[in-house]
Structure 1
Amino acid sequence: MAKHKAQQGKGPSQRQLRVGELVRHKLAEMLARGEIHDDVLASHVITISEVRMSPDLKMATAYIMPLGGKDIAPVIEALKRHGRFIRGEIARTVNLRSAPEVRFREDETFEESARIDRLLYSEKVRRDLEKD
């Protein structure tokens, strides 16, 4: 228990990062090859920017964004519908004691970076920079 408390507040372990990357690569491969048979998924190009693993490696949270940022809700629903199949495929390729349950979330980093760009290129910031 002391080890678990010491881990709180710190970033993910090397093992969590490594397993997250393996799961991310497998998900991306499945989507690119069309291994998940679904009309919604087939009609979108989906980016999986990150997969975060829980400390016990039993839960994986995949952050996704369809190209253009449109139709995020139907894409997430389609991925949820195929959760058992996805988990089974991950179990076959990623060598773990148990396959992680995969949750899908919208990747909001694209929106955040666009917001920062808008701020940096705003007229107010431009005026402040020209003063120097």
Structure 2
Amino acid sequence: MAKNRHSEGAGPSQRQLRVGELIRRVLSQVLARGEVHDPELNAMSITVGEVRTSPDLKIATVYVMPLGGGRREDAITALKRNRGELRRAIMRDMSLKYAPDLRFLIDETFDRMDETRALFDREEVRRDLGGDDAEEEA
């Protein structure tokens, strides 16, 4: 039985990465220019950090973060409410066979970076990593 390369834990294909980045750019521009007919969404400054597409390119998971990290649920609600208009913008600016179904999630990359920094600042972690003493000896 032949194995599907995606079932082996392989990463996204070059095509998935390329299409995801193009969708990210289009959505970023549409949101930055306030092209959506929703005053509440246009009043928010939303960063589109990453877009991951399914292997068949029919689903695009969009990772977003409102400026300052506040009003996360409001941003997701507004984006979901305007999903159709955002899909049309993608189709207008890109030449895809199908408009992907957009799913919006909060981009937690920044939260994880803060947690990692805090972890490395802990005394016992610095000691285990060699800390300042190892730098002075080098």
* 2:5 alignment partner in structure 1: 6
Q: Which amino acid aligns with 1:71?
A: R
* 1:80 alignment partner in structure 2: 80
Structure 2 residue matching 1:7: 3-state secondary structure:
coil
**Within 5 Å, which residues of 2 pair with 1:83-122?**
83-122=83-122
Q: Which runs of 5+ in 2 are unaligned?
A: none
Structure 2 residue matching 1:64: 3-state secondary structure:
strand
Runs of 4+ in 1 over 4 A off after TM superposition: none
| Identity of matched residues, % | 51
Conserved 8 A contact 1:44-1:66: yes
Q: Tell me how far 1:126 sits from its aligned partner.
A: 4.0
- Structure 1, 54-63 or 32-41: larger mean CA deviation: 32-41
Conserved 8 A contact 1:46-1:64: yes
Q: Tell me how far 1:79 sits from its aligned partner.
A: 0.5
Deviations 1:64-103 (A, max 9, x none): 0011110010101000001111111111111111111111
Q: Which runs of 5+ in 1 are unaligned?
A: none
**In 2: Cα distance, 1:42 partner to 1:88 partner:** 17
Q: Which amino acid aligns with 1:6?
A: R
Q: Tell me how far 1:2 sits from its aligned partner.
A: 4.1
**Within 5 Å, which residues of 2 pair with 1:15-94?**
15-94=15-94
**In 2: Cα distance, 1:38 partner to 1:66 partner:** 16
What's the TM-score once normalised by structure 1's chain length? 0.90
**In 2: Cα distance, 1:53 partner to 1:94 partner:** 15
Conserved 8 A contact 1:40-1:74: no
Say if 1:93 and 1:2 are closer, same or farther in 2 by CA, change over 3 A: farther
Structure 2 residue matching 1:12: 3-state secondary structure:
coil
Larger radius of gyration: 2
Structure 2 residue matching 1:44: 3-state secondary structure:
coil
**In 2: Cα distance, 1:17 partner to 1:130 partner:** 40
Conserved 8 A contact 1:41-1:78: yes
Q: CA RMSD in A?
A: 1.7
What's the TM-score once normalised by structure 2's chain length? 0.87
